[in-house]
Structures are given as structure tokens and as C-alpha cells.
Chain A
Amino acid sequence: MNYYLRRMARIPLTVLAVATFTFGLIRLLPGGPFTQLRIQLIRRGVPVEQVNARIEALQNIRPDAPLWQQYLDYLVGLAQLDLGRSISLNQPVMDVLARALPWTVFLVVTSTVLMFVIGVLIGSVQAYWEGSRFDQLTSGGSIFLMSVPYYIFAVILLFFLGFQWNVFPTGDAVARGVEAGLNLAYITSVLRHAALPIIAFTIGGIGSTALNMRGNGIQVLGEEYVEVARLRGLSDGRIATQYVAKNAILPMYTGLLLLIGFRLGGTVVLEQIFSYPGLGYYLIQAVNANDYPLMMGCFLVITVTLVVAVCIADLTYGLIDPRISAGDSDGY
């Protein structure tokens, strides 16, 4: 229980650290967003005497206050879930992000789970029949899959299934004019729009998952306890699930922590290609429009999502592997 409490307590600390870091990026980098915002406002014809007031309204920071005051303002704003106002969209940043977040989480979670399941299945078959024709073919295939970045799959899928054959829509998360809610039309529309990004993002990760699982599987199959289980006359199904699969998957599950981080960052390119309105999409929109409040908001929310996701993975790992909950916080 102690471990869980300590782990949970780290979330606000990390968020605070990241928020401080974001503040540093906004405020301290030479020629950084803050200065640029000022130039941009002046260029837009905002009178010079009003610029500071506008920045204050947009960013929640008083530009002429001392630094510590600005930092406090920023933190107080964050605590009230106020991330300022988007310049390009003219809406509170929080509203934009609240709409975008679920789509990104949906993409990442679905594709990561699919990737994990498919990769583990292929990898364990490979490990079991190591050296077989299937193993050789899929190993070669996995190495090839590892060398293709997901956005290439995305572009190719978009080219054929989207533009050439018109099987799937080429942008947005849901068709226009479909009522949101738990009705069939809405759900199919969402699934159809998410299909291509999810497929592209999943294929990209299958190769390395399978190779990973193959390596672990081969190692576990060579262990003595598997031999002992066989000698004890346990059923094949029990050996496969209780002994081999469990021990081969455990080390990979810890890898998920890193993986989630990389994949959350990866949606930036993915969502851009499919014009899928998630966090990454708005991040790039904000970059292109020099919309600093929105940009920083996206960055912060992606980071917080990552921190929470990693924490969930950490905590559930404790449930699966009892050795962890003994309090060994760096058990991986």
C-alpha cells in the first residue's frame, strides 16, 4: 500500500516540475514565445500600450510583474485549469484541449493494445517453433516492419484506401452532421475515421513487439522450470499460459512505460497526416499559427497524459507482479 501511495504522490510533483519547465520555455528562452507573441500582437495592429494587457489575457501572465509573480500567476492559472486563450481559434485553450484529448487517448490506447496482442501472439508462435519456415518468414518481416516508420504506412494507406479506392474517410474524427451519442451511426462513423490511423500506428509497432516476445519466449522455453512442469505432466495449455506466456510477457509489460511515452509523442505526425483532431493535430496547428498559448497547453496536456499513463502502467504492474509491490520502486 505504501508503494501505491508513494507512486501516486509522485504525479503532482512531476506535473509541477513539468509546469515549471513549460513556464521556463515560455518566459526565459531568448527570442522565445513570449517575445514573439509581443511582436505578433504589435504586427496585428494592437496599440503598444495595450499589448501587455492582451498578453496577460491570453497567457494568464502579467508581463511586467517580477518573475516570481509571473510564475505564481501561471501556477494559479494552471490549478484553476485555466491555460489562457488560444489566439488562432479564439477560444479558451482548455476547451480546445478537452475536446482533443479523448481522440488522442483513443488512438494511442486502441493501437497500443492491438499492437501488443498481435505482436505477442506472433512472437510466441515464433518462439515455440523456433527456426521453422514461419519463424524465418515472420522474423524477416518483423525486421522489415521495424525499419518502416509508421507515417510511411499512414501515407500509403491514405493513398490507396483513402484517395484511390475511397474505402475510408481521409480526415477528421467523425463525419459532419452525425449526432454525438451512443447510436450506431455515430459509433460506425468514429470507427471508420479512426481505422486508418489506428492500423498505421499498429502495424508500425508489431515488428518490434513480435521480436521482443520471440526473444523472451525462447529464453523462458529454455528455463528449467518449464522442463520441470512438463515432467510433472501438466497440460500443455497450463504450461503455455501459466509458465511460458506469463514470464515472457512480464518484462515486456514494463517496456510499456517507455512505449506509451514514445507513442503519445508520435501521434503528432500521425494526426497531422490524417487531420485527426487530437492533441498532436492542435499542437501543429498552433505551431503553424504561432499560437503560443495553445502550443504550450498542448505540450502540457500531452505531458500530463503521459505522466498519468505511466503511473497507471506502474501501478497495474504491481498487481501483476507481486515482487514489485514489496516497495522496490525501481524494479524495472
Chain B
Amino acid sequence: MVTEADSPSEDIDWRSDASAAEMSRRDQLEELYERLIYEPAVVAWSDTRTRLGIVILSVYVLMALVEVFGLWRNPDPNQAEQFLKPFQNWAYPLGTTKSGVDLLALIIDSTPFILLMVLAGGVWATGVAVVVGTVSGYKGGRVDTVITSVSDFFMAIPGLPLVIILAITLSPENPILLGVILTINYWAGLGRSIRSQVLSIREASYVEAARTMGTSTPRIILKDVLPNIMPYVMVNFVLAARYTIFASVGLYFIGVLPYTGQNWGVTLNNAYNSGALFGMETLYWLLVPMLSIVGLAFGLILVSQGMDRIFNPRVRTRLTGESESVEESENETSTEAWV
């Protein structure tokens, strides 16, 4: 599986070298498409887990599109008979709640909100972590000391309690703001591990060569350092996204975040508080929002696991039977996965 993936990625280097000379804008765009979209897609598709993950994630994107274009009814009370079980009436495939709301409509209705929030959380957490980690790792010295102390401080603050306090003072209702608040101090830990990776890359000979040639710091960080930590960043993007889902649904579930209409956590909370916990008959009402959460997280993790396998030199060398030693930084690949 992975050896297959090797060849296209070697192609990339070869072609981008050759194409640097003279090309029309159209060729350049095509080249960019090949390199940034087509090739990674082929690599990703070659791993069964990534493939399954992508399929699952597309279902959620599809649900979001259905909601955006209004292809399914909106959730309303008394739109159907109460406590309809799933798969009984195909007009309401997932059944209905105590007040006769179509459960599928509830789930679809909040998909765009959740996806936006998850994206915002992931981008914020990894974005800040990358900036902080690369700058403090590469610059070193006083900059590093300051950044490290600040992130140490943020690491010392427990995430969810802080989010709860911020949520009651700010009452975030915008999904993007909410995503950012949920991962408000997530970057600290991630930034620290990116920093330690950058520390070792910084000593690499080609970076040193670039430095002696007088290349500017931002350019070195962008061209030489970033590509090396990109796989790690991608994997952690997914983990940050997962954390955002878990945290948001959990906080909606216990009723701390402000209700902005219905969403999976609110549905779970309603089911829980309406006594769905006490009887087998209404268990589906709890299970439907749970499955939507687990499905999304499962899709994300499958994609990240597949990516990890494709990018991870440790696993690759082991598979091709070489005994090349791998840098210690690889150990940290999944530290964040522990949340």
C-alpha cells in the first residue's frame, strides 16, 4: 500500500524541479493543481483507512450542502407523530423526538454549524501553534524564552473550565468564534512539540546552507522548515478538530454553551433530560446524535491515521525492511492524540 504511495511523491519533486524554468500561467496552474491537489489525493486514496475516512467525511459535507440548499425539511415541533422509531416511517428515517421533531432534520440542520466550528477550531489551534512553534524554535534566544514562558502559562490553565468561564462571559453564538474559544489554549501544547521538531530541523545542513547564503528568516521558515513539519501539522489539525467536536458537544450536553438553535449536543441534552435514559424505547433518541458525533470523529481520525502512515518515515522504513534510524521527534507524533 505504502510503497505504491512512494512513487507519485517522488514524481512531484522531479517535476517541480523541471518546471521551474519557463511556463505559461496556465501550465503553472495545472502544475500547482497536480502537485497540491491531484497527487496528495492519489496518495491518500491508496490507503484503505484514508479512503474510508474521506467517504465518511463526504457524507457530512453532503449533509451540510443539503442544509445549505434547503433540500430537507427544517426541524419543527409537531411535524410528525411523537416518538416515532427509526426506520419505521421512511418520511422520517431516523424517527422523531418527544415533541415530534424529525431527528434527521435536527441532525442535518446543525451540520454546517458544526463543520464550520470544527474547521475554525482546527485552523486556529494548528495555525497559532505553527507560528509560535516555528518562530520560537527557529529564532531561539530571547524570543524563544518569552514565547515558551507564555505557552507554559497557557498550558497550565485547564481547557474546558476556561472555555466554560469564557462562554458565560462572551456567550459565543457564531460557530467560528465558538471554535476559536473552544481551542483557546490548545495551541500551547502543540506549539511546544512543534518547537522541539523545529529545533532539530534547524540544525540540518540545508537550512544552515540557506542561512549562510543570506536567505531571510521568514523565507527559510516557509520554504525549508514548514514542509518538513507539514505532515505532523496535518495529523494534529485533525486531532484539534476532534477535540473541538468533543468539547463542544460535551459542553452543549451539560448545558453550558449558549443554545443557538438545535445541534447535536443540544439534541443529546434534550434527550437526556426528557428521560430517554430511563427506557429502552427511547434509547434511539440518544443514539442518533451520538452516532453523528462518533461518525464525524471516526472519519477524521481515519484520515489522520492514513496520512500518518503515508508520511511517517518510521512506519515506512519498517515496512520496506530498512533499518534506518529515525529522529526522536517522531515519538511525539501522537502525543496530542491522547486527549
| A252 to B334 Cα, complex, angstroms | 9
Which A residue's beta carbon lies closest to that of B299? Answer: A147
B323 x A209 contact (CB < 8 A): no
Least Cβ–Cβ distance between A149 and chain B, in angstroms: 4
B318 x A265 contact (CB < 8 A): no
Q: B264-308 toward A: CB 8 Å interface, digit per residue (1/0)?
A: 000010001000011010010010001001100110111001000
Least Cβ–Cβ distance between A308 and chain B, in angstroms: 10
| A332 to B328 Cα, complex, angstroms | 10
Which A residue's beta carbon lies closest to that of B53? Answer: A143
Which B residue's beta carbon lies closest to that of A288? Answer: B255
Least Cβ–Cβ distance between A293 and chain B, in angstroms: 13
B131, CB-defined interface residue at 8 Å: no
Contacts known (A262-B339, A265-B158); A147 close to B301, Cβ less than 8 A: yes
Question: What are the residues of chain A within 8 A of B192 when measuring CB–CB?
Answer: 330, 332
B29, CB-defined interface residue at 8 Å: no
Chain A facing B: main interface SS: helix
Question: What are the residues of chain B within 8 A of A268 when measuring CB–CB?
Answer: 160-161, 164, 254
| A201 to B269 Cα, complex, angstroms | 19
Q: Which of A261-283 contact B (CB under 8 A)?
A: 261-262, 264-266, 268-269, 272-273, 280, 283
B249 x A298 contact (CB < 8 A): no
Question: What are the residues of chain A within 8 A of B286 when measuring CB–CB?
Answer: 155, 159
| A307 to B165 Cα, complex, angstroms | 19
Contacts known (A14-B152, A261-B158); A219 close to B301, Cβ less than 8 A: no
Q: Which of A80-111 contact B (CB under 8 A)?
A: none
A315, CB-defined interface residue at 8 Å: no
Least Cβ–Cβ distance between A11 and chain B, in angstroms: 10
Partner of A251, one of B164, B254, B302, B332: B332
Question: What are the residues of chain B within 8 A of A216 when measuring CB–CB?
Answer: 331
Question: What are the residues of chain A within 8 A of B249 when measuring CB–CB?
Answer: 149
Interface residues on A, range: 35 or more
B158 x A218 contact (CB < 8 A): no
| A254 to B335 Cα, complex, angstroms | 9
| A298 to B153 Cα, complex, angstroms | 18
Question: What are the residues of chain B within 8 A of A141 when measuring CB–CB?
Answer: none
Question: What are the residues of chain A within 8 A of B202 when measuring CB–CB?
Answer: none
A223, CB-defined interface residue at 8 Å: yes
A251 x B156 contact (CB < 8 A): no
| A303 to B330 Cα, complex, angstroms | 30
Partner of B338, one of A29, A33, A222, A258: A258
In the A-B complex, the 8 residue pairs with the closest CB atoms:
A251-B331, A265-B160, A147-B297, A265-B158, A147-B298, A255-B335, A149-B246, A269-B250
Q: List 6 A-B contacts (CB under 8 A).
A: A17-B156, A18-B157, A25-B169, A262-B159, A269-B160, A303-B156
